[in-house]
């Protein structure tokens, strides 16, 4: 098992299934195929299914969850299988995959889900749940018996370098790579639309965001959480997200891109509902931007994401990180949330509460308080935009 460094020469491809297309380009570099068939919808999922006429190599691209479906459809043999969602692998799926594939398995997708990453990280760092799967993954060489080669695509083509560096530092052990061509293309990708939009914003905190000239931004909103049934929400965070996305959607709409390029993400369903209510109340004639929980965002991406750091605890004095931060402290969810933005990530949170937590309980830095580690990274690397106190109090009920 090894990384495919050749993929560094692959540029980002604008396709409906970019991970599979990156893998297809890698196969071209290896001379296994001369061209790749475009993905198409079949039986409810996207699958690249082709036999290269020049190399006589059959290739199929699917997800781990659909491996059994391929067998049901009678697709029982392929030279190469490109597979996504590797973190969900079971023993049964592993056996099915090796029954189908005869030469090469290429894993493609989020780096945290790849075999090489799961195996190489120390056990104590696999708090996202991969440790339970190590026995399955480490059994692959025995199952293979040298018959099938396994290659992991550990390059990031989704996010700009500034955003990729956060995931790489906090959760991927520095193993993620940014292909040179993709990095060189960042300025053209970003400046053609989003930078122009940001330059047109004036007035209020959005002008601060625009002037920061950064891709990673922390917006300090001094409001507190509220309990809503079994869920949580922060009205101030939701209102701030509405203002941000409204300001941007007005400009993006003029550019012809619409609001489909942006999204609001929260760890809590109640806050997503609150955001939708707030938007409908303030802007009833405008289309609603995409808004979803982090759990429902996996596998999706947007140019710009506004992410809320609403915590579970209403009492800032709680000492137990799990009780204080709830699912916000889940490293796997954090990885998913911060990896949805391709060009800009705006994190909305309460800096005062996070700073007090760390000052009051410095040992949190050395525990599984992942949200504290995220906050420390934001303090060091993000553009910090702090709202005036009078604005917080008058507009969003801040403290």
Q: How far is CA 234 from CA 143, 275, 312, 361, in A?
A: 49, 10, 10, 23
CB 154, CB 174: distance < 8 Å: no
What pLDDT sits at residue 152? 66
What pLDDT sits at residue 265? 95
Contacts of 41 (CB under 8 A, 6+ apart): none
What pLDDT sits at residue 269? 92
H helix intervals, the chain:
18-29, 67-72, 91-100, 115-120, 134-138, 140-144, 161-170, 180-184, 186-190, 196-200, 204-212, 235-255, 269-282, 321-325, 331-338, 351-360, 370-381, 389-396
CB 267, CB 248: distance < 8 Å: no
CB 154, CB 117: distance < 8 Å: yes
Domain definitions of the chain by residue range = 2-155, 180-396
Strand, coil or helix: what is 58? strand
Contacts of 266 (CB under 8 A, 6+ apart): 233, 237, 272, 275, 291, 293, 294, 307, 308, 310
Low-confidence ranges of the chain (pLDDT < 70): 1-22, 24-25, 35-53, 73-75, 84-91, 108-147, 152-158, 175-213, 250-260, 299, 312-324, 357-368, 387-399
Residue 298: burial class (beta carbons within 10 Å; 0-12, 13-18, 19+)? middle
Summarize pLDDT for 286-322 with one digit per residue, the tens.
888 899 999 888 767 888 899 998 886 655 555 665 6
What does DSSP say about strands 2-3 and 40-42: parallel, antiparallel, or unpaired? unpaired
Q: Which CATH superfamily is domain 180-396 in?
A: P-loop containing nucleotide triphosphate hydrolases (3.40.50.300)
Q: How far apart are the first and last CA of the chain?
A: 53
What pLDDT sits at residue 230? 76
CB 380, CB 253: distance < 8 Å: no
Give 252-319 as a DSSP string.
HHHHT--GGGEEEEES-HHHHHHHHHHHHHH-TTSPPPEEEESGGGTT--EEEEEEE---S-S-TT--
């Amino acid at each position: 098992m090894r990384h495919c460094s050749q993929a560094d020469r692959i540029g980002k491809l604008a396709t409906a299934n970019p991970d599979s297309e990156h893998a297809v380009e890698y196969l071209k570099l290896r001379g296994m195929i001369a061209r790749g068939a475009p993905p198409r919808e079949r039986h409810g999922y996207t699958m690249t299914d082709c036999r290269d006429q020049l190399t006589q190599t059959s290739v199929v691209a699917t997800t781990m969850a659909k491996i059994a479906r391929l067998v049901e459809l009678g697709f029982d043999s392929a030279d190469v299988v490109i597979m996504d969602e590797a973190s969900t692998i079971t023993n049964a799926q592993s056996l099915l995959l090796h029954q189908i594939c005869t030469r090469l398995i290429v894993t493609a997708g989020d780096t945290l889900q790849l075999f090489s990453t799961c195996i190489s990280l120390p056990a104590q760092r696999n708090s996202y749940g991969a440790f339970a799967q190590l026995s399955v993954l480490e059994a692959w060489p025995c199952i293979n018996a040298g018959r099938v080669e396994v290659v992991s695509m550990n390059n990031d083509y989704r996010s700009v370098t500034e955003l990729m560096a956060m995931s790489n530092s906090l959760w991927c052990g520095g193993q993620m790579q940014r292909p040179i061509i993709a990095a060189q293309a960042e300025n053209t990708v970003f400046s053609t639309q989003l930078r122009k939009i940001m330059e047109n914003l004036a007035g209020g905190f959005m002008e601060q965001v625009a002037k920061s000239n950064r891709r990673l931004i922390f917006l300090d909103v001094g409001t507190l959480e509220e309990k809503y049934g079994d869920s949580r929400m922060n009205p101030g965070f939701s209102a701030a997200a509405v203002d941000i996305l409204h300001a941007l959607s007005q400009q993006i709409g003029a550019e012809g891109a619409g609001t489909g390029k942006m999204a609001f993400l929260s760890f809590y369903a109640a806050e997503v509902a609150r955001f939708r209510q707030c938007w409908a109340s303030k802007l009833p004639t405008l289309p609603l931007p995409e808004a979803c929980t982090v759990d429902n965002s996996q596998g999706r991406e947007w140019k710009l994401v506004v992410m809320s750091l609403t915590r579970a605890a209403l009492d800032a004095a709680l000492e137990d990180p799990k009780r204080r931060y709830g699912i916000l402290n889940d490293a796997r969810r954090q990885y998913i949330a911060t990896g949805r933005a391709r060009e800009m990530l705006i994190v909305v949170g309460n800096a005062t509460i996070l700073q007090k937590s760390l000052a009051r309980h410095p040992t949190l830095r050395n525990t599984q308080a992942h949200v504290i580690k995220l906050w420390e990274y934001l303090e060091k690397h993000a553009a910090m935009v702090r709202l005036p106190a009078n604005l917080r109090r008058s507009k969003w009920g801040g403290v």
